[in-house]
Amino acid sequence: MARRVAALAVGAALCATGLAAPVANAAGPSATLSPSSGWVQSGSTFTLSGSGCTAPLREDGTPIPVAVAVVDTATTGIVGQATPAADGTWKVTFGQLSDWLPTGGSASVGALCVTYGASDDRAALVNVVSDAFDVSFVGVTSWPSSVGGKAVTVKLAGFGANEKVTIVLSGHGENAVIGTGTSDADGNVSLSVTVPKSVKPGLYTITATGATSGRTFVEKNGFRVGSPSLSIPSSITAGKSATVTGTAFFPGEKVTVTIKVNGKDVTIGTGTAASDGTVKFTIKVPTSVKAGTYDLTAIGDPDAQGKPATVVTQKLKVLAPGTSSDEGGMPDQGTDVA
């Protein structure tokens, strides 16, 4: 009943702003929230769908267009809308409500059926077509860029109150619990995570699960153990191409290779890491570059979560055209810089 009242309060608020004027408050069928658990992983989507939004008729018998407005009941802000089908059914899919809902936050959303259309049609609330649904987003608020044999802190939000949260590392033959902690009354948890030294460098999947709520956060191939590595030739002939390969980069991380020529950075190749963290691309030094030894830098762009860029540095010997070079590549270990 409280949720129904909340939804009606939103309708009243919409009326006050001129977006809707109530002509009926008949309760329509309840909608369905998917996932039905009422929580989703931060960055994922949820869908509110249902029925009961049927167009009323004008005096001449023609239907007045209607729309479903989905609102955040706390702010009475419209966060989504859809045009119902002729039978009154509708569906609205959302991403994270970033303007209203931070990671770990929660909101209550409900749907209203509202008329719109020609200037002579008075905007009106046809009915409330759903109860309000509580939605929470589970996600990370602090995440280390890489680990290896030492304790690091991982902070998450959106879990149930005062529940045990367990983090499991998986991939490359590993499946081990690497940290546990207890959430506070608001569902926030700070975990000390230690990856055994025996775990090989690379990208791994992390799964954090709340023991009571069942809420889960999964970071697929987003937890790096150790540092990335690149295999870069120690020498190359100007005008010829050579292959660069690497491992343990973050998925989608763009790697740019430059050499310093007369004080300026000259890009000689770029590549993008695959979903498994591997990268393979070619580099080519312009024929205008004179023979000699140059400082080479390979840098990866920070990803959307703000993980630090990956930097690899070495010396590159450039040979004059027509001279053979070592294009097999020498492995170099990257270092993370904040």
CATH 2.60.40 fits 2-137, yes or no: yes
- Rounded to a whole number of angstroms, the distance between the first and last alpha carbons of the chain is 51
* Superfamily of segment(s) 143-225: Immunoglobulins (2.60.40.10)
CATH 2.60.40.10 domain residues, the chain: 143-225
Q: What is the pLDDT along the chain (338 residues), one digit of tens a residue?
A: 334 334 434 444 444 334 333 333 344 456 888 888 888 887 778 888 888 888 887 778 777 788 888 777 776 777 778 888 888 888 988 775 555 566 777 778 888 888 876 555 455 777 777 778 888 888 888 777 556 667 888 899 999 999 999 999 998 889 999 999 999 999 999 988 888 888 887 788 889 999 999 999 998 877 778 777 888 888 999 999 999 998 878 778 889 999 999 999 999 999 998 888 889 999 999 999 999 999 998 888 765 445 555 677 889 999 998 776 555 444 444 433 33
- Tell me what pLDDT residue 110 has: 85
Task: Give the residue carrying structure tokens 């699960």.
Answer: 209
- Tell me what pLDDT residue 60 has: 81
* Superfamily of segment(s) 229-337: SOR catalytic domain (2.60.40.730)
- Tell me what pLDDT residue 53 has: 87
- Tell me what pLDDT residue 331 has: 41
173 — alpha (psi -120 to 50), left (phi > 0) or beta?
left
CATH 2.60.40.730 domain residues, the chain: 229-337
